[in-house]
């Protein structure tokens, strides 16, 4: 059995204790990994703080080359990363390979960015230049649904900008982050990258730590609020990429089979465990029955199973806590709607929920109002488009959304009325590290990805110079 280690101050070390890692397709442990204590967390932060002066002073081109080397190293061990990811997260192996390669690609995208000084004013009296300086120690806290690529969204810009890092993965998916730590131990100067694992007991210590300059967090809105409260005492910089309850709004001119397939894919990819997965769909009366029937057919035909099986399309729910929550939501769906496919956990080991379609459900039912984070899709009918848009927007969340229609100009006009950080038209899950990704309302604060995402890891400094002879 492979021995996993923490990375602290350039050394791969054991944890203060160990913890089991559960394979969600089996519901039992398949590996152990280190578990840090508070003393080790403090050592990691101290190491990152000590490494910051030299790393931030290093030319950006050298930092860029090391990021590219990390991307190459991940790609060279892509099979190991993907197999580990499938075992700890549950997703089909092909999707795990896609995430692994996407992680390397994301690092390369950030390595290709720059932080050149920008002249913001140049007139007869003054010249003003904006410089971008690193912040210091960045704490990156990542979730269990995409533990690799969501780490890259933080690791890439933070390191390129000259920050040092402490990485803390979710307790149920720690292994791939620890593998990244192994590569960083070989490539980066001691202390630049550190890895810490816990059982959700060190997050508050890390986010409140006085030597942490920024917290980059991806996870639930409820936990994001705790993070925001924790950083308030030191006014740390913070990026929060939080939950969503993304709606698909179907217009009355669509090809039902074509769009139903795309919406089904957008709702069930990664077993629906995506912050921007389609979590509710609004369909006009005229095509409602046909649309529901097509979604139900797709759900019944989908192959659910272990991610290691090449035929599997949909894997398990990642952890027991989420599995139990989804079972509660299914009970609500039975009471407040009509389940036309799925609806019951599979009778087998592991945390398997088959794709479930719920029709004739109201907006105030839990299965609609809450973020399911599962392959469960409620389908709501509408007769008036303005009313449907209002219902789509009547949510505490505003992360993503989609509009579907053959008349693209009409669909675009509708998309402009959806209150979400990203709205796709006639496609979904088109994530690109070159594009800024942000949430509105309670779906987040700040930006990930794109040039704006890079700037989140910097402090803007204006140098305002008087020109010779200016009055």
CA 311/CA 300 separation, integer angstroms: 15
Query: Which of 243, 215, 219 shows the shortest CA–CA distance to 229?
Result: 215
Q: With b meaning 16 or more CB within 10 Å and e meaning fewer, what string describes 199-238?
A: eeebbebbbbbeebbbbbbbbebebbeebbebbeeeebbb
- Strand pairing report for 28-35 and 17-23: antiparallel
Query: Which of 46, 47, 51, 52 shows the shortest CA–CA distance to 209?
Result: 46
CA 74/CA 108 separation, integer angstroms: 11
Q: Per the residue annotation, which of 241, 306, 448, 456 is the catalytic one?
A: 241
Neighbours of 112 (CB within 10 A): 13
Q: Per the residue annotation, which of 33, 43, 88, 275 is the catalytic one?
A: 275
**DSSP string covering 228-268:** HHHHGGGT-EEEEE-----EEEE-TTS-HHHHHHHHHHHHH
Query: Which of 319, 154, 177 shows the shortest CA–CA distance to 237?
Result: 154
CA 248/CA 400 separation, integer angstroms: 9
CA 310/CA 31 separation, integer angstroms: 22
| Annotated catalytic residue 275 | yes
Bridge partners, residue 28, by sequence = 23
CA distances from 261 to 214, 268, 279, 298, 428 (A): 41, 11, 15, 7, 12
| Annotated catalytic residue 449 | no
Q: Which residues have a catalytic role annotated?
A: 241, 275
């Amino acid at each position: 059995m492979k021995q996993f280690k923490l990375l602290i101050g350039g050394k791969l070390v054991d944890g203060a204790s160990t913890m089991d890692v559960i394979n969600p397709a089996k519901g039992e442990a398949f590996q152990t990994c280190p578990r840090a204590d508070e003393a080790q967390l403090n050592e990691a932060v101290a190491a990152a703080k000590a490494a910051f002066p030299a790393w931030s002073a290093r030319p950006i081109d050298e930092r860029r080359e090391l990021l590219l080397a990390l991307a190459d190293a991940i790609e060279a061990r892509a099979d190991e990363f993907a197999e580990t990811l499938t075992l700890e997260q549950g997703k089909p192996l092909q999707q795990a390979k896609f995430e692994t390669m996407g992680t390397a690609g994301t690092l390369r995208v950030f390595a290709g960015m720059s932080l050149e000084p920008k002249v913001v004013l140049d007139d007869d009296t003054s010249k003003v230049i904006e410089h971008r300086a690193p912040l210091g120690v960045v704490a990156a806290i990542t979730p269990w649904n995409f533990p690799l690529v969501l780490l890259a969204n933080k690791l890439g810009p933070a390191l390129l900008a000259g920050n040092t890092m402490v990485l803390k993965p979710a307790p149920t998916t720690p292994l791939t982050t620890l593998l990244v730590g192994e590569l960083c131990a070989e490539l980066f100067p001691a202390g630049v990258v550190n890895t810490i694992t816990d059982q959700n007991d060190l997050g508050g210590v890390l986010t409140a730590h006085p030597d942490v300059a920024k917290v980059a967090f991806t996870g639930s809105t409820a936990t994001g609020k705790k993070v925001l409260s924790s950083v308030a005492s030191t006014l740390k910089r913070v990026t929060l990429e939080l939950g969503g309850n993304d709606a698909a709004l179907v217009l009355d001119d669509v090809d039902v089979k074509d769009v139903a397939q795309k919406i089904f894919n957008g709702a069930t990819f990664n077993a629906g465990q995506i912050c921007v997965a389609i979590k509710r769909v609004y369909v006009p009366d005229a095509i409602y029955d046909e649309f529901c029937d097509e979604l139900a057919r797709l759900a019944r035909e989908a192959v659910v199973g272990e991610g290691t099986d090449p035929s599997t399309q949909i894997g398990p729910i990642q952890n027991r806590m989420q599995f139990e929550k989804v079972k509660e939501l299914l009970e609500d769906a039975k009471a407040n709607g009509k389940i036309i496919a799925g609806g019951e956990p599979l009778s087998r080991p592991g945390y398997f929920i088959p794709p479930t379609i719920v029709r004739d459900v109201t907006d105030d039912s839990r299965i609609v109002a809450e973020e399911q984070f599962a392959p469960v899709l409620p389908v709501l009918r509408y007769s008036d488009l303005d009313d449907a848009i209002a219902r789509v927007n009547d949510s505490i969340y505003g992360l993503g959304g989609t509009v579907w229609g053959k008349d693209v100009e009409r669909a675009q006009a509708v998309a402009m009325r959806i209150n979400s950080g990203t709205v796709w038209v006639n496609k979904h899950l088109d994530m690109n590290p070159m594009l800024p990704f942000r949430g509105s309302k309670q779906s987040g604060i700040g930006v990930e990805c794109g040039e704006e995402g890079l700037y989140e890891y910097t402090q803007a400094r204006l140098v305002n110079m008087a020109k010779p002879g200016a009055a």
